[in-house]
Chain A
Amino acid sequence: MAENEKDKDEAKKTAKQLADEQEKLEILARAGHVKGEQLFVGTTGDVERENELRQFALGTIEDPEKKFDVYYKGIGRLLLAHLPKGLQNKAARNYIYEEKNTYLTRGKRIKKDGTRGADGRMGYIADAEEMLKVIMDWIMDNGTMVDLYNKLRELNVSKGYGTRQF
């Protein structure tokens, strides 16, 4: 009898523990998805948020050094490190670079004569940061080269940037 009750206690305990674990996972998952400050705490909090907005707006004003960093130290370095190397992969790499450059130039495709009429390095910082994020996500998801291509292609399509004409 006592044995039985003990067992029941154990079972109850583990059930509670399981529920706790489950709840914890849910909290962590929600924390992973939350974007931006969402707590409402009255007037003082709002004032601060306005300031932050202004700061954020100012932060996106073009900055040559930052642009250089995002393009070379960010996008460039990551692609170099994570795309397959070697001559045999050069064509595939170029597909990806093309999608990237199209996005960064807001839809300028490379022409048959090899000119584009725009330079990815000179695009908007906001675009470059978005690109960097896509690449980082791709690496974290352990994606293949095709995955990255599809992602970039989708991104371009969603913005209405056309396909290559040749």
Chain B
Amino acid sequence: MDENQFLNEFYKMLAPVDAWQGQATSIKAIFEARLAQHGITQNQAEKLLNMQKRTLDGILDGSAKRIDVINLLKLGQFLGLETNHLIKLFLSDMPADMIGELEDAKKKAYILANFDIKNLAKAGFLKTKTDFEEIEQRILKFFGLRTIFDYTQQQIIPAFSKTKKNESALMREFWVRSAYAHFERLKNPNIYIRSQLVDLLGKIRPYTMNVASGLRIVSQALYNIGVTVIYQQHLDNTSVRGATFVIEEKPCIVLTDLNKNYATVWFALLHELHHVLYDYDEIQQNIFHLTGEPDLFLLQEDKADEFARSYLLPDDRAKFIYKYINNQLLVGNFAKENQIHASFIYNFYCWDMKAAGKGDYWAKFNNLIRSADLKLALKDINIDPFDKERVEDTVLYLKENIFNI
């Protein structure tokens, strides 16, 4: 007999021999009706069921703290009730504190199923890994939710299937929901007109040289034409470099500090802007698109990369300056001439050499690549959303300090 057969036999045993036909209002009512039907006393019934009086009374009037499953099933047989019917009736009589306990267990299970506690704690979002009360409060407050179950209630995000999620999918979902919550509350009042973006795009490059405030100025300018850009720290277990959302007909872009590299942040911005210009409809249908994750919607990732690349350092120029890569002065002057930060050139060089199998230069040029201080660049827009108590706090900060509204 294999396991399934065994269970089937067992379920057969649970099926009542003499099914209860009458009205079923409570276990106690049916019990009394049964006693009358068979003309026996409760005392006899106890003997029949091999149960103690105290136990039986505990079930019948709902006073028992804990109930033995076997006892409940035995009683179910006597009453002639299907198991689920029996449980339903039993629960409807259940005292409030027991219901509370159940709900508590459900909440905890929900949190475990929808949040990657370990990595959220590592990212600094959670202060505790064990106090579920605190974890729940943190999440409720942050997202401004009524109950924890509302976290997945909002069906804004179609790409997250309901099948079992692994750690990285949970972190990714958290990241996306957090970003979405920020955009939703920011509510950019400016109307997005595509031609304005095309126009503005031509003017972004020189700002890459302005490490201290370039990113902020470009974010402000984009905001003014209806494109909202925020920064959200990269989360462990995800490889999101950036993302584009379309919310209420307006493009919204999130940048991360994946690899902690200044050039990468700008590259991501241009990559996402390409998506805004040329994949708008697809993204609008799907609401969001993540860059760096396996492409879910088959958007033109190559083209977006190619665009960002040609925008920052066209091939013919790269070919010229690569020859003098060891001459810091020339690279510096060339960068200035081309209105980009010199770290981009080293960055592209290392990338290209690696891709062409000509060697790994990352360590050699590491200092020059890091010469642009990412922390300084993000200082004004680095709101570290996971550090704030509520999404609203971040949004307020952004509105006052960056978007000037």
CA distance A27 to B205 in the complex (A): 11
With contact pairs A74-B329, A77-B327 given, residues A39 and B339 touching in the complex (Cβ less than 8 Å) = no
Which B-chain residue is minimally distant from A30 (CB atoms)?
B202
CA distance A41 to B320 in the complex (A): 35
Among B224, B311, B320, point to the contact of A139 (Cβ < 8 A): B320
Q: Does chain A have a CB within 8 A of B58?
A: no
With contact pairs A129-B333, A136-B337 given, residues A39 and B202 touching in the complex (Cβ less than 8 Å) = no
A35 to B310, Cβ gap below 8 A? no
B217 to A48, Cβ gap below 8 A? yes
CA distance A52 to B220 in the complex (A): 18
Within 8 A of B (CB), among A70-84: 70, 73-74, 77-78
Find chain A residues with CB under 8 A from B210 CB: 37, 48, 52
Q: Does chain A have a CB within 8 A of B221?
A: yes
Residue from B200, B212, B314, B330 whose CB has the most chain A CB atoms within 10 Å: B330
A38 to B203, Cβ gap below 8 A? yes
Q: Interface residue count for A (Cβ, 8 Å)? A: 33
With contact pairs A34-B206, A38-B203, A52-B210 given, residues A45 and B217 touching in the complex (Cβ less than 8 Å) = yes
CA distance A27 to B333 in the complex (A): 24
**Interface of chain B, main secondary structure:** helix
With contact pairs A24-B307, A73-B330 given, residues A31 and B204 touching in the complex (Cβ less than 8 Å) = yes
Find chain A residues with CB under 8 A from B337 CB: 133, 136
Within 8 A of B (CB), among A1-47: 20, 23-24, 27-28, 30-32, 34-42, 44-45
**Interface of chain A, main secondary structure:** helix
A36 to B206, Cβ gap below 8 A? yes
Which A-chain residue is minimally distant from B209 (CB atoms)?
A37
A35 to B329, Cβ gap below 8 A? no
With contact pairs A74-B330, A78-B330, A136-B334 given, residues A42 and B404 touching in the complex (Cβ less than 8 Å) = yes
Find chain A residues with CB under 8 A from B330 CB: 73-74, 77-78, 132, 136
Find chain A residues with CB under 8 A from B404 CB: 42, 44
Find chain B residues with CB under 8 A from A41 CB: 217, 220-221, 224
Q: Does chain B have a CB within 8 A of A58?
A: no
B339 to A34, Cβ gap below 8 A? yes
Which B-chain residue is minimally distant from A29 (CB atoms)?
B202
B221 to A27, Cβ gap below 8 A? no
Residue from B202, B210, B320 whose CB has the most chain A CB atoms within 10 Å: B202
Among B206, B224, B310, B311, point to the contact of A37 (Cβ < 8 A): B206
**7 interchain pairs, CB-CB under 8 A:** A27-B202, A34-B203, A34-B206, A35-B206, A36-B206, A38-B203, A39-B218
Given contacts A42-B404, A132-B330, 16 further A-B pairs with CB under 8 A are: A27-B201, A27-B311, A28-B307, A28-B310, A31-B201, A31-B202, A36-B339, A37-B206, A37-B210, A39-B217, A41-B221, A44-B220, A45-B213, A45-B220, A74-B333, A139-B320
